[in-house]
């Protein structure tokens, strides 16, 4: 399967998480040397590990699209450890070898992403 560079988070998405304006709503990404920043809408977001669903990827993708970021967010099932974690994965839209996601930060990161746990190089 062809895909761009992927960065997998370490934080298991909780069943329910509240994003509060000005507290835990900001995400910033350095992609190919350019900084892209988004602010999530305040509200309650739900995730379900057993059904492999989450409200976060669609909302984050809407915000990334608004700033023309060349990355997108998806839900990933991290099998490194027990139990399996549902985590956020950020993937570069381009599948070439010279694309980079070098920093993921912001007030929402500890809550929703944690640290980069897996880096998966692009495949062609």
What's this model's pTM, rounded to 2 decimal places? 0.92
The SS3 assignment for 37 reads: strand
- The predicted structure's pLDDT at residue 85: 85
pLDDT for the residue numbered 82: 64
- Kindly list the domain boundaries of the chain, sorted by start residue: 6-120
Query: How far, in Å, CA of 19 to CA of 36, rounded?
Result: 19
β-sheet bridge partners, residue 101: 31
For the stretch 76-122, pLDDT in tens is 987 676 677 899 999 999 887 778 998 999 999 999 999 999 888 88
């Amino acid at each position: 399967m062809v895909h761009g560079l992927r960065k997998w988070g370490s934080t298991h998405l909780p069943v329910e998480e509240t994003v509060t304006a000005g507290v835990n709503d900001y995400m910033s990404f350095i992609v190919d040397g350019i900084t892209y920043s988004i602010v999530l809408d305040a509200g309650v977001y739900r995730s379900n590990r057993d059904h492999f669903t989450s409200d976060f990827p669609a909302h984050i993708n809407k915000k990334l699209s608004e700033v023309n970021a060349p990355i997108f967010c998806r839900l990933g099932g991290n099998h490194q450890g027990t139990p399996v974690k549902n985590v956020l994965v950020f993937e570069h839209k381009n599948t070439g070898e010279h694309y980079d996601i070098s920093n993921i930060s912001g007030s929402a990161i500890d809550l929703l992403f944690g640290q980069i746990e897996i880096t998966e190089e692009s495949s062609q």
